[in-house]
A and B are shown apart, each in its own frame.
Chain A
Amino acid sequence: MSTQNDELRSVINRYSSMLYKICFLILKNEQDTDDVLQETFLAYYTKKPAFNSEEHKKAWLIRVSQNKCREFLRFHKRHERVSLEEMEEKLLITDGLRGDERYLLSVIWNMDYKLKSVVILHYIEGYSTEETAVILKISSAAVRKRLQRAREELKTELKGVPDYE
């Protein structure tokens, strides 16, 4: 059991930061993000899945956390989604960002789940469309379509913002 506990600690140390960023951006509040991460790592700890590689493990953790985010958004509605402006009052979330970068973050912040999830996985985590499709359990075509819609949305929203046209 100690080996399993060591493994759990190592996985939390390695992946919690990445999962926290993704889930926070999707759920838009700290408490739900904490809950999703807790449930994700608990699933990892109790299910004891076997992985072919570290990448496989990372993708599994993202997939589980994404499923849980979706459940939270759909059913729980436990905590209000907070606007970026309100969040900025509580946390130093945009400190150090240029104005255009802050604006880009606010556009992603306000996207709906379907677009936001592919944007995060593809652009922020660097997964290919095929890998994103596997993680989200949707088709590659759906990922490409969502990315296209996301790009259109970003383009429209960022029109006039220097460096983002």
Chain B
Amino acid sequence: MNKDYNKLLNNIDITEEKKQELYENCIRSKHAGDFLFRYSQPLCILIAAAVFMLTGIGATAAVLSVKDRMESMSEEEYNDYAYEVENDTFVSVDEGFSRELRDSEILRIIELERDYYDNGVFPVNTVPHLQTAAEREEDQLAYVAEDNLLYLPEKDMDDEQILEYIDHDAKKWYLNSQALMEEGFDVGTSPDLTYDSTEIAEGSGEQKARDAGEKLLKDIYGVDINADKNWIVLVEFFEGEEGITEDLYQLDIYKKGTGYADSYQLRLRAEDMSPILINLAGYERELRAKRFSTAEADAMNDSAYESAVSFAGEYLGLGTPEDYRFEEDFGATADGEAFKYLILKYGDKSVYFGIKLEDMKVIMCHVMRSGT
């Protein structure tokens, strides 16, 4: 076997153009995010928020009790979770389950997550780690090592099982975040890993961005992030790259104890704090939104367009667009459509909108320039 294996791959190589694309896409993705992807897989993004509640300065007593719970795992349980985390190769959360979570279960998870993290309501039992599926009892919630799956009961999970599920999730994320930090990840402003709002110097650009973001959230959604100490506000500055992006601030805003619930993302132009992106995310919003048949939804196109144009005028200082188009077949599920997605065109600028049909509220607005 002492052949020149490298020679076999001489003709397989990346082009200089692709290298440049990789570089530019990394910078764009970090700055702008891939929102279509995020919307299509909300679970894999939002469940990460659960890790927020685990520790940190200023945490409430109930939050600390979750942390205590994590730290007081027995060696056996810790090792079971370490095995599970180490073998976790799933792209999204659902792919690690024996079946998808049902909407009714997710809504109950949202309610019980608040109890778990805010009030220290824990399950009586914990999710067992079994070697083989044969060991599992009927309708038992259990992790099975041989196929690396979390088995959910065929019937809907009851409250005890949902608490066990939340507990399992919290422990997995606890180990996962520890492992990442041990590998040297900078946890400073990573929503997956930090537990506290960004410390901001008075009068700094970050402070101005936070103030502008607070005002936007209050004006648009009526949310006052200063009224509840459980909001976590992360602020990060990104220096632009000529021809690719401009200087901007990103704000990630989550509430403690609500991994599946609503959260917000804002991106503001550093120069004038005008918004580039306003995004209301969250499984809770998606699941609770009223759905309409395709015909009903299409009949609302004019209203959705008017809502987008009005929003663009009020918050982006834009007038009537030169052109617009609706995104076809996007956002519809078997249960119908709850949202419409459309793009307004203004010269070299496009503004991407997501509109909730039930009340015509803008749930997403993203300003994009051609070539960026």
Contact = CB atoms under 8 A, between A and B. Distances in A.
Interface of A: 1-2, 5, 8-9, 12-13, 16-17, 20-21, 24-25, 34, 37-38, 41-42, 45-51, 60, 67, 70-71, 74-76, 91-97, 101, 104-105, 108, 123-124, 137, 151, 154, 163-164
B23 A50 contact: no
Given A1-B238, A50-B184, A20 B14 contact: yes
Max chain B C-beta neighbours (<10 A), residue from A70, A91, A92, A101: A101
A59 to B, nearest CB: 11
A48 B186 contact: yes
A8 B23 contact: yes
Contact of B26 (A45, A60, A104): A45
B125 interface: no
Contact of B89 (A60, A74, A124): A74
Max chain B C-beta neighbours (<10 A), residue from A12, A95, A154: A12
Report the contact-size class of chain B (Cβ under 8 Å from the partner).
35 or more
A137 B86 contact: yes
Contact of B185 (A1, A48, A96, A137): A48
A46 B90 contact: no
Given A13-B19, A17-B13, A48-B185, A108 B8 contact: yes
Contact of A47 (B11, B29, B185, B238): B185
B22 to A, nearest CB: 5
Nearest to A44: B26
B288 interface: no
Nearest to A76: B91
Contacts of B237: 1
B10 A96 contact: yes
Given A1-B239, A49-B184, A41 B6 contact: no
Interface in B4-31: 5-14, 18-19, 22-23, 25-27, 29-30
B133 to A, nearest CB: 19
Contacts of A71: 89-91
Contacts of A34: 18
Contacts of A42: 25-26, 29-30
Contacts of A41: 22-23, 26
B95 interface: yes
Contacts of A76: 91
B227 interface: no
Max chain A C-beta neighbours (<10 A), residue from B6, B23, B183: B23
A123 B13 CA distance: 18
B22 A37 contact: yes
Contacts of B12: 20-21, 24-25, 91, 93
A16 B14 contact: yes
CB-CB nearest 10 A-B residue pairs: A50-B184, A1-B239, A20-B14, A48-B186, A21-B9, A124-B5, A105-B8, A45-B26, A123-B5, A21-B12
B7 A101 contact: yes
B190 interface: yes
Given A42-B29, A75-B91, 14 more contacts: A12-B22, A13-B19, A17-B13, A20-B12, A21-B13, A46-B30, A47-B180, A50-B184, A51-B184, A67-B89, A70-B89, A71-B89, A71-B91, A101-B8
A73 B3 CA distance: 28
Contacts of B296: none
A75 B91 CA distance: 8
A50 B186 contact: yes
B299 interface: no
Contacts of A17: 13-14
A29 to B, nearest CB: 12
Nearest to B241: A5
Contacts of A92: 11
Contact of A20 (B3, B6, B13): B13
A2 B11 contact: no
B1 interface: yes
A42 B95 CA distance: 22
Given A17-B14, A49-B184, A94-B11, A38 B23 contact: no
B104 to A, nearest CB: 25
A47 B190 contact: yes
